[in-house]
Structure 1
């Protein structure tokens, strides 16, 4: 029976160096191969042109590179690009390139499907199949970086972990992927340009603070009234608002970095004056900003975009209370690439 080949990107640089020494080669060969795997995003051992044929053969016999494959790419009329990404086991996730005049942002997935049950999100209707490995997350970013260079003639400037899945339910792989993305031996991006979005997993917010992470934190809040929040995001019964508030206060005390609240306003759900006042109160606990996100209906059900007046009320009352607020218009709606629409229709 043949041994199952090991995923080479699960090895550290030191383990790769040891492998070459144990096989009668020089340790520096490990550095070369490591560079091909990460800085140069090699898809196969044959790509490693400064490594001898015999060495490439040896790698082929012992290892695999479980590289992703962009199975389908769609371009929106607003320039947004959506990738349906096939993983080595045939499962599919989606990632998105969002361009503006000044930046290109990658929105990446961290799970196949999602662990949570937000009623307004298409991704939540997919069963969680598995967590993504760090290299699979890294590959999504690398592919979008190449598309950014191809279509917009500039490197990727920002990354948001806001695709499929709850990133904090796949914490170790998310952290490893960020380490690789920010390493000079990977993509060399600044952690300040990376935002991890959570629906409010309080224990893991505290862990991030203890781990002294350098990236930004966003929280999908959508209501600062417990009953409303529990109705639209049933799992939040496990993470009540008081617990969330304490975790975020802990985060700010440890990191001194403000939090972004992601917030969708829906007709008849959270568009009243009391909803706005509850949000204002919640925003007073720590320095923060609010992103009001345009909603993208996933069916003809109860979740519908609120009126322009409701949005205007939110903006004026938040600004009156010195809270920074931005309105995020949806991008890529025509290709189901907008917030909450990633559902592997392909």
Structure 2
């Protein structure tokens, strides 16, 4: 008698990434139960999950309040939930909480955070303050640079993120928790410092009592950290929906920028999204010949196709694109590139952000002199384009993408 094999009681999950540098072992099969992560769920999804547990609907807003405004680090910390509900949540759902491995601050108050994920891999986030306010007091606006992948498969020649290849995509929960974790480790401490210096400061007192309101530390988000955001498109967009939701992080879509190396199909798809999210393009070369030296992705999607996709985005969104342009000595800092860059930006009504190269250990390139950077900037401006030259923030803390992670992993015992 033939015995039929018993079917597995849990799904098999396949993870796969297609990229110009497809890494060995990039297709992984996991044969273990897949638990939903509470930080991966929208409010509507959480309503359905709570109903399955037989709990009343009002529990949903209690849970969301603990996750987002109060930035709870665990299910156990949700003290106004019954012990029985906390046990049910812990048994049925995971709860991503990034572990802080290292935090570095620089003289301009830029801070870099190195996080350990549940499987021991490392990712980075960078908190960047606005320019100092009047009289030199601490600025009250902060931008968080967020990672979307462990490593990167696209091999941009100036970037440390891809030196060890691509490992995996981050989940939406891991993306969202970078925002929450930075505020857990920085926001409240800064408010406490305000209270210590001015105990009668009413707004500071209220912020500590209600951490979801005036204690908001992060005002802007740029997906410009480790990894190519558009190579993790679905998780990226789910994270953005949670970050922008009023029940979530509550950061407006217009305060969010996604930076891509130039994945044309995803740029077009992004243009069709309903939210008004900003787009930045890692250009770094105004001709195919120069850009290909820096950006291997240009082989797959050359400038003609990339700029057509940018035009599609600009017309659909009626929003200004930003071209990020890292200045590298002797590679792309010639004045002929400045003139061509200005022409591209003017045609698309785009803004140019010039960034002096951050030295990366293991890469031979150097940043141009201050004089050359200034000359390049003036040339772009003289040819009629909107352009900025980035003021240095974080050059002394391994602030280029992936540097702190590589440095930590290569330390003895790392």
Provide the TM-score with structure 1 as the length reference.
0.93
Indicate if the aligned counterparts of 1:97 and 1:148 stay in contact, CA closer than 8 A: no
**Aligned residue among 291, 295, 298 for 1:233:** 295
Partner of 1:187: 249
Give the gaps of 5 or more residues in structure 2: 1-8, 11-31, 133-138, 195-214, 409-414
Partner of 1:78: 108
**Residue 45 (structure 2) pairs with residue 6 (structure 1):** no
Structure 1 position 320, deviation (Å): 1.8
Question: C-alpha offsets along residues 210-262 of structure 1, whole Å, 9 cap, x if unaligned?
Answer: 11331111111111110111111122110100001100010011000001111
Indicate if the aligned counterparts of 1:249 and 1:285 stay in contact, CA closer than 8 A: no
Structure 1 position 145, deviation (Å): 2.9
**Residue 180 (structure 2) pairs with residue 151 (structure 1):** no
Q: What SS does the corresponding residue of 1:329 show, helix, strand or coil?
A: coil
**Aligned residue among 125, 132, 142 for 2:180:** 142
Partner of 2:366: 304
Question: C-alpha offsets along residues 153-194 of structure 1, whole Å, 9 cap, x if unaligned?
Answer: 662121111110011111111111111111111111111111
Deviates more, 1:150-159 or 1:102-111: 150-159
CA–CA separation in structure 1 for the residues paired with 2:270 and 2:108 = 35
Partner of 2:315: 253
- Quickly say closer, same or farther: Cα 1:303–1:340, change in 2 above 3 A: farther
- The equivalences for 1:91-106 within 5 A come to 91-100=121-130, 101=132, 102=139, 103-106=141-144
CA–CA separation in structure 2 for the residues paired with 1:281 and 1:75 = 38
Q: Which has the larger radius of gyration?
A: 2
Provide the TM-score with structure 2 as the length reference.
0.78
- Quickly say closer, same or farther: Cα 1:23–1:135, change in 2 above 3 A: closer
Give the gaps of 5 or more residues in structure 1: none
Deviates more, 1:82-91 or 1:1-10: 1-10
Structure 1 position 96, deviation (Å): 0.9
- Quickly say closer, same or farther: Cα 1:220–1:31, change in 2 above 3 A: same
Q: What SS does the corresponding residue of 2:351 show, helix, strand or coil?
A: strand
**Residue 154 (structure 2) pairs with residue 116 (structure 1):** yes
**Aligned residue among 372, 375, 385 for 1:313:** 375
Indicate if the aligned counterparts of 1:18 and 1:27 stay in contact, CA closer than 8 A: no
**Residue 195 (structure 2) pairs with residue 126 (structure 1):** no
CA–CA separation in structure 1 for the residues paired with 2:178 and 2:70 = 14
Partner of 1:223: 285
CA–CA separation in structure 2 for the residues paired with 1:11 and 1:276 = 45
**Aligned residue among 76, 97, 106 for 1:46:** 76
Question: C-alpha offsets along residues 275-299 of structure 1, whole Å, 9 cap, x if unaligned?
Answer: 1122122112211111110111114
**Aligned residue among 256, 266, 273 for 1:211:** 273
Deviates more, 1:36-45 or 1:136-145: 36-45
CA–CA separation in structure 2 for the residues paired with 1:14 and 1:216 = 26
- Quickly say closer, same or farther: Cα 1:55–1:212, change in 2 above 3 A: closer
- Kindly report the root-mean-square deviation, in angstroms, between the aligned alpha carbons of the 2 structures: 2.2
CA–CA separation in structure 1 for the residues paired with 2:34 and 2:341 = 52
Indicate if the aligned counterparts of 1:206 and 1:250 stay in contact, CA closer than 8 A: yes
- Quickly say closer, same or farther: Cα 1:49–1:228, change in 2 above 3 A: same
Deviates more, 1:101-110 or 1:219-228: 101-110
Partner of 1:18: 48
- Quickly say closer, same or farther: Cα 1:15–1:316, change in 2 above 3 A: closer
Structure 1 segments, 4+ long, off by >6 Å, are none
CA–CA separation in structure 2 for the residues paired with 1:286 and 1:111 = 30
Indicate if the aligned counterparts of 1:104 and 1:158 stay in contact, CA closer than 8 A: yes
Structure 1 position 68, deviation (Å): 1.3
Indicate if the aligned counterparts of 1:105 and 1:157 stay in contact, CA closer than 8 A: yes
- Quickly say closer, same or farther: Cα 1:226–1:342, change in 2 above 3 A: farther
Structure 1 position 195, deviation (Å): 1.0
